[in-house]
A and B are shown apart, each in its own frame.
Chain A
Amino acid sequence: MSEISTVKVIRCIVCPTGCEIKAIKNPNNEITFEGYTCNRGLEYATQEFYEPKRILTTTIRVENGFLPLIPVRTDKPILKDKLNEALMIIAQTVVNAPVKMGDILIKDLLNSGANVIASRDLGKA
């Protein structure tokens, strides 16, 4: 195909204006973006088009804790496509109380370079 075509429409979430940014393929197969109104919007659209990433926030089971679960997050965004795999690993993990906020509970999740860290302190039961 050698025509200009829109390959993806991205709704920008950087601010409440919510621009619709189009990823457009030109005849030379190069991708350009249209519809953004600021540089942060362009950055967001570029990231979202080539390599969408998300911070994963969930919980991990705790033994002997004041509560049965500890809330956790990845310390960096991970690939959106890897979220399900990551959740399966986290679901199989159990940690022991006490836990401190920032403690690394899973190191280098799926070789992503991101660690799963505790979001709060959790004392013993």
Chain B
Amino acid sequence: MKSYKADVLVIGAGAAGLAAAIEVKKSDLKVLIIERAKELGGITLQCIHNGFGLKEFEEELTGPEYAQRFINQVNDLKIPYILDTMVIEITKDKKIYAVNNKEGLIEVSAKAIILAMGCRERTRGAINIPGFRPSGIYTAGQAQRFVNIEGYLPGHTYVILGSGDIGMIMARRLTWEGCNVKAVVEIQPYVSGLLRNQVQCLEDYDIPLITSYTVTKIHGRDRLQGVSIAKVTKDYDRIIGSERFIECDTLLLSVGLIPENELTLQAGATLSQNGGPMVDNNLETTIDGIFACGNVLQVHDLVDMVTSEAKRAGKNVIDYIQYRYDKPVKKEEKIKCIPGENINYLKPDLVNKSDIESNIIFNFRVKYPDRRVIIQFKDEKNKVIYTRKKVYVIPSEMIELALNLKEIGVETTIKEIRIEVIPRPEVLIEED
């Protein structure tokens, strides 16, 4: 078995993996990237629409352009990478096993590992649509790859289930390729992607957006003949009698993304409620020396945010190797971060007490939209330690707050931080 050695091993060469590797390379450390696909770049390569890079480069780029800029840096810095190689196991002592069709089984040992495997799409199985299993049912990202990279159209007439950004962007893309998109169907009473995509991908082309509806039946045995959709209650139960049939030969599912953490679990790391690994404020998982960043940790709205998180992971890995690797383990006291009222999930899961004097970046999403709210941090005794007003919150917009806990008066005796998003109490209402 061929074996490789590196100081830092990065798993995945998408936006997160590339940015993390480049950051680590700024030190003297030896970094190696392993990628499953035949080229560097990850999923941004198939996101050919524009809107990327406004934060990172202060200009508007397409996905491939964004990826290319990082690929060029990887090549300029001569960072080694292995392509077309699938990692099949990660061990606690930071060894990995991988396979490819040239070398067979390979082994890599590293001092630290950065997990950057991204996320995957939820499929028909995840949402249990009854009916036969004809051809013509794809996830939106799968269809995006066919159309934008492989050069195939999956069908002619479409229904798209889910109003996430990829679904809406595919509606426009397919319209531009001469296809007929009959409707975008959304189970929630509101659109789940960005307003910009609703306006520029659906309204521009008069594609109907049908909210509070879902697909309840698949018609067709060999090829999809159409779908039944039905109105749902606010608890997502379908309303009998509200069914209607839409004829189509293709159904695209844009019904959510899940961090891809089979390897993480297998290594023995703990996952938290969003499906990503539990991490501390340094993005280190519950396994010493294994870090996570990008969509494997939490599904981001913008690639720019993936990049900045990955750079943070890269910097923290450099510190880890310099100060902690191979040194006696210091028992670190941690503050638990707990999602409260109207918080879907929260990162980080833990804050090291020794870090409360530095800026801690909190990321979270709300469960449902709300207006004129306050974001409130409380300790384990329900004492309010921090509040901030916000005009508008929606599940599709990740909220980021950078806080120096010491400056807002948090003492090291604190045990937990609970974050909640609640309506503003009357007395607090002032002009925004």
Contacts and interface: CB of A to CB of B under 8 A. Distances in A.
Interface of A: 11, 13, 16-18, 54-55, 57-59, 61, 66-69, 71-73, 80, 83, 87, 101, 119-121
B397 A16 contact: yes
Contact of A119 (B60, B65, B391): B65
B374 interface: no
B196 A120 contact: no
Interface string B190-212: 00001110011001100000000
Interface string B53-73: 000000010111101100100
Contact of B48 (A13, A58, A61): A58
A13 B50 CA distance: 15
A68 B200 CA distance: 28
Interface of B: 39, 41, 45, 48-50, 60, 62-65, 67-68, 71, 147-151, 176, 194-196, 199-200, 203-204, 391-392, 394, 397
Nearest to B147: A59
B48 A57 contact: yes
Contact of A71 (B148, B196, B200): B148
B48 A59 contact: yes
B176 A69 contact: no
A101 B64 CA distance: 9
A69 B71 CA distance: 19
B194 A61 contact: no
Given A17-B391, A59-B48, A73 B62 contact: yes
Max chain B C-beta neighbours (<10 A), residue from A66, A73, A87: A73
B65 A69 contact: no
A13 B196 contact: yes
A80 B391 contact: no
Nearest to B197: A13
Contacts of A18: 195
B68 A120 contact: yes
Contacts of B196: 13
B316 to A, nearest CB: 30
A121 B64 CA distance: 9
A69 to B, nearest CB: 5
24 contacts: A13-B200, A16-B195, A17-B391, A17-B392, A18-B195, A54-B204, A57-B48, A58-B176, A59-B148, A59-B151, A67-B150, A71-B48, A71-B63, A71-B148, A80-B204, A83-B176, A87-B176, A101-B64, A101-B68, A120-B65, A120-B67, A120-B68, A121-B68, A121-B71
B2 to A, nearest CB: 26
Max chain B C-beta neighbours (<10 A), residue from A11, A57, A80, A121: A57
A11 B176 CA distance: 22
